[in-house]
A and B are shown apart, each in its own frame.
Chain A
């Protein structure tokens, strides 16, 4: 489920719940207050009327007792009274005995002179009951007799004789049980009413007075309130939905952006530079964290890229002690450095072995020529000296043999001068240059500052230095058109320094061909763990080579 939907549902259901609770409780509150009010009002009306009726009955009774009873004559034909009533004194409800069942409340006085009956004028009671101030459109007060039949005219059935209407409601029941009270229940019409009731008891007359009002009428404002509340609820809810939609956009957009960012990063691209709106400190921190993550990943990517290109001097600091990626990259780099060093060592070692093998072979060949073939040739010369009689032929042959021996000597020296083994590099170079001077017009100055006694230059180093000088001189003579060459070979306590200078045309150090002697020279220096500095401008080229003394 999208976070948007989720937030929308949560927020709006909360809002809906709150509104519903508020509406319901205020409605309930209002309804309770209204009930109380109505019942209180009805009660006061009822009480007033009860008092008025009681007062009326009492005062009428007193007047009846005090009056001249001779004048009190009632048409006896209307009533069919049983004797028990005729022979008693008091206030009676005679409605059941009335021929037309008209409500009849009568005062009866029985004496030796006979029975006097006075019927109370119903209109008096009616006037009291019809007084409907404060009772709204549907309010009414009415009386009910002990036989649960109505005694006063119903407002709703003005043409019915009250006696024919039965009122057997909860209120009437309660009232006859002497419980005065109030309540909402169905009246004689079967309609819900607010009702207050109480018993009127004057002498032996028992009547129940009820003041009632239709629930429908009372609850009209309540209905209005209900409708208004529902309307309000819906309005607020709609507003809330709209507002939350807007708010959710504000909240979720950065999250969506971050999701987009993370998805791009998950695809392995750490170089995206999208700017996002950051509208809260948390979001801002999240983006900062994301930026940090991106930066550290970029760093790691760059670092591994460098490692991949074997730029192993690149440094990298892990973001923290928990940066496993950084740490393993560093470990990888260290391993690679180790491997490279090993490989480098192996490479130099194998090169050294190759060159040494080559030099040994040259030495062997040189010795073979010099000490092997040479003596045979001298033997040949002896043979000629001894056996050839013809003097002309003898001298010619001797010359050929001598030339051959000279040639052999040159070849042997070119391959590997025996001096290197017997006298060391200093003297060997002296000889080499001395011989060279015979065949070139170039001025070669050589300064030998090696130790004559107890030199610490190894035979291998001597051979390498000799080859380097051979190569350099060869270059100077062949390619550089040099006029002057100066060579200084110095031996110190901890290093050997070969300085070579010529005033030739010079060369471009960077573009010089790989096949040229420079590469060989560099390789030999590398094999000896030495350093070489090359400087070249026209008429001033120099090589500074330093080899360590290995003791």
Chain B
């Protein structure tokens, strides 16, 4: 079994050294390169440098982790990125996952978990711990991104308009200002290309929006 070839990309030398020392104990993991920023990393990647995994920090000078993820994906590189970051917010995790990260680790992750993650990714699996997954899912469930022509909020407003509520009543019901509802209403009219409420209801019914 050949050792897993690893690159560490982080701007803190102390961190890189610590991590290297930690991993040196494990024979199946070999640190082949250590770089201080995204630019250096990408230059390395572009030289067809052979590596299996990159432990990638998000916050780096010159080119940050997000940019690196994007480029690696674009290059269809064989190097699998595992993000190792101080950020423990769901949005960072979700974004990294969406951008092609194979795993997400917090910098203070225990040695054991770190090794598990590297090994899992090395065999082509993705690794997100239970804790990290929960954070990511919590965040994603809060997001209200609609695939429809109307946003979720707009659909809700449209429904209330169809029920015959006035702008003021809708505002009170949805806990927003009247102006917000008016703006929503204007946006709905624009999106559905109609001029007044009667036309709006007619078109919305036709499109099965209400």
- A interface list, Cβ under 8 A from B: 370-371, 374-379, 381-383, 385-386, 398, 401-402, 405, 409, 417-419, 422-423, 427, 430-431, 434, 446-449, 452, 486, 488, 490, 492-493, 495, 497, 499, 501, 533, 542, 544, 546
Which 3 pairs from chain A and chain B are nearest by CB? A382-B18, A375-B12, A544-B177
A495 to B107 Cα, complex, angstroms: 39
Question: CB < 8 Å: which of B21, B89, B90, B108 contacts A386?
Answer: B21
Whether A422 touches B92, Cβ cut-off 8 Å, given contacts A382-B18, A405-B108, is yes
- B interface list, Cβ under 8 A from A: 10, 12, 14-15, 17-19, 21-22, 25, 59, 66, 86-92, 95, 107-108, 110-111, 138-139, 142-145, 151, 153, 174-177, 179-180, 183-184, 187
**Pair A371/B91 contact, Cβ less than 8 Å:** no
**Pair A497/B177 contact, Cβ less than 8 Å:** yes
Whether A488 touches B174, Cβ cut-off 8 Å, given contacts A385-B111, A386-B22, is yes
Counting chain B CB atoms within 10 Å of each CB, the highest count among A371, A375, A493, A499 belongs to A375
Shortest Cβ distance from residue B202 to the other chain A in the assembled complex, whole angstroms: 25
Shortest Cβ distance from residue B70 to the other chain A in the assembled complex, whole angstroms: 14
Given contacts A449-B153, A499-B176, 14 further A-B contacts (CB under 8 A): A371-B86, A375-B14, A378-B86, A382-B18, A385-B111, A386-B21, A405-B108, A409-B86, A419-B91, A430-B90, A430-B139, A434-B90, A448-B142, A495-B183
Whether A423 touches B95, Cβ cut-off 8 Å, given contacts A382-B21, A499-B175, is yes
Interface of A is mostly: helix
Question: CB < 8 Å: which of B91, B95, B108, B174 contacts A378?
Answer: B108
Counting chain A CB atoms within 10 Å of each CB, the highest count among B14, B17, B59, B91 belongs to B91
**Pair B90/A447 contact, Cβ less than 8 Å:** no
Question: CB < 8 Å: which of A371, A376, A422, A499 contacts B180?
Answer: A499
> B176 contacts which chain A residues (CB < 8 A)?
488, 490, 497, 499
A-B contact pairs, 30 of them (CB 8 A): A370-B86, A371-B59, A371-B86, A375-B86, A378-B15, A382-B18, A382-B22, A385-B111, A398-B110, A409-B86, A417-B89, A419-B92, A427-B139, A430-B90, A430-B139, A431-B139, A446-B142, A448-B143, A449-B144, A486-B175, A492-B187, A497-B179, A499-B175, A499-B177, A499-B180, A542-B175, A544-B177, A544-B179, A546-B177, A546-B179
Shortest Cβ distance from residue B174 to the other chain A in the assembled complex, whole angstroms: 7
**Pair B142/A430 contact, Cβ less than 8 Å:** yes
**Pair A447/B153 contact, Cβ less than 8 Å:** yes
A430 to B135 Cα, complex, angstroms: 12
Shortest Cβ distance from residue A473 to the other chain B in the assembled complex, whole angstroms: 15
Shortest Cβ distance from residue B209 to the other chain A in the assembled complex, whole angstroms: 18
Question: CB < 8 Å: which of B107, B108, B180 contacts A497?
Answer: B180
In the complex formed, the residue of A with least CB distance to B106 is A405
A431 to B139 Cα, complex, angstroms: 7
In the complex formed, the residue of A with least CB distance to B112 is A385
In the complex formed, the residue of A with least CB distance to B66 is A422
Counting chain A CB atoms within 10 Å of each CB, the highest count among B10, B87, B111, B138 belongs to B87
**Pair B86/A419 contact, Cβ less than 8 Å:** no
Counting chain B CB atoms within 10 Å of each CB, the highest count among A378, A452, A486, A501 belongs to A378
> B187 contacts which chain A residues (CB < 8 A)?
492-493
A417 to B110 Cα, complex, angstroms: 25
In the complex formed, the residue of A with least CB distance to B87 is A418
Shortest Cβ distance from residue A396 to the other chain B in the assembled complex, whole angstroms: 13
> B66 contacts which chain A residues (CB < 8 A)?
422
Counting chain A CB atoms within 10 Å of each CB, the highest count among B90, B110, B177 belongs to B177
> A488 contacts which chain B residues (CB < 8 A)?
174-176, 180
A499 to B176 Cα, complex, angstroms: 5
Shortest Cβ distance from residue B14 to the other chain A in the assembled complex, whole angstroms: 4
In the complex formed, the residue of B with least CB distance to A367 is B59
> B25 contacts which chain A residues (CB < 8 A)?
386
**Pair A382/B177 contact, Cβ less than 8 Å:** no
A541 to B107 Cα, complex, angstroms: 42
Question: CB < 8 Å: which of A382, A423, A452 contacts B19?
Answer: A382
> B95 contacts which chain A residues (CB < 8 A)?
423
**Pair B144/A448 contact, Cβ less than 8 Å:** yes
> A417 contacts which chain B residues (CB < 8 A)?
89
A378 to B111 Cα, complex, angstroms: 11
A390 to B123 Cα, complex, angstroms: 33
In the complex formed, the residue of B with least CB distance to A387 is B21
Whether A418 touches B59, Cβ cut-off 8 Å, given contacts A371-B86, A385-B22, A492-B187, is yes
> B89 contacts which chain A residues (CB < 8 A)?
417, 419, 431
A488 to B177 Cα, complex, angstroms: 10
Whether A378 touches B107, Cβ cut-off 8 Å, given contacts A448-B142, A486-B175, A492-B187, is yes
**Pair A379/B15 contact, Cβ less than 8 Å:** yes
Shortest Cβ distance from residue B96 to the other chain A in the assembled complex, whole angstroms: 11
> B138 contacts which chain A residues (CB < 8 A)?
434
> A401 contacts which chain B residues (CB < 8 A)?
108
> B142 contacts which chain A residues (CB < 8 A)?
430, 434, 446, 448
> B177 contacts which chain A residues (CB < 8 A)?
497, 499, 533, 544, 546
> A371 contacts which chain B residues (CB < 8 A)?
59, 86
> B183 contacts which chain A residues (CB < 8 A)?
490, 492, 495, 497
**Pair B18/A379 contact, Cβ less than 8 Å:** yes
In the complex formed, the residue of B with least CB distance to A490 is B180
